[in-house]
Amino acid sequence: MKHKIEIFSAGCATCKETIEAVRKLAGSDHDVHVHDMHHHEIASQAKQHGIRSLPAVVIDGKVAGCCAGRGVDEHVLREALR
């Protein structure tokens, strides 16, 4: 099953690490989109998802639990992509 993965980023080092990790895990099997929170419309979209901290990962329209702490929990992300 192909997932739509959205990453909300502010361009910080942790955000960049998250983008790399998600792209590595997703490979070509899933669609990965990176959203720049410096744009008002993206910030509004993040607010609709209930995102309050960055980086944040949304998989198929739902905020993923993989990024609740500092950085990406690869195990949680891997489970979400099954």
- Domain ranges in the chain are 4-80
Say what the pLDDT of residue 52 is. 81
Three-state secondary structure of the chain: CCCEEEEEECCCHHHHHHHHHHHHHHCCCCEEEEEECCCHHHHHHHHHHCCCCCCEEEECCEECHHHCCCCCCHHHHHHHCC
Say what the pLDDT of residue 71 is. 57
Of residues 75 and 34, the one with the higher pLDDT is 34
Q: Are 9 and 15 in contact (CB under 8 A)?
A: yes
With a pLDDT cut of 70, the percent of the chain lying above it is 91
pLDDT per position as a tens digit, 18-57: 999 999 999 999 999 999 999 999 999 998 988 888 999 9
- What does the block give as tokens for 72? 């990406």
pLDDT surpassing 70 at residue 68: no
Say what the pLDDT of residue 40 is. 94
CATH superfamily assigned to domain 4-80: Glutaredoxin (3.40.30.10)
d(CA 67, CA 73): 6
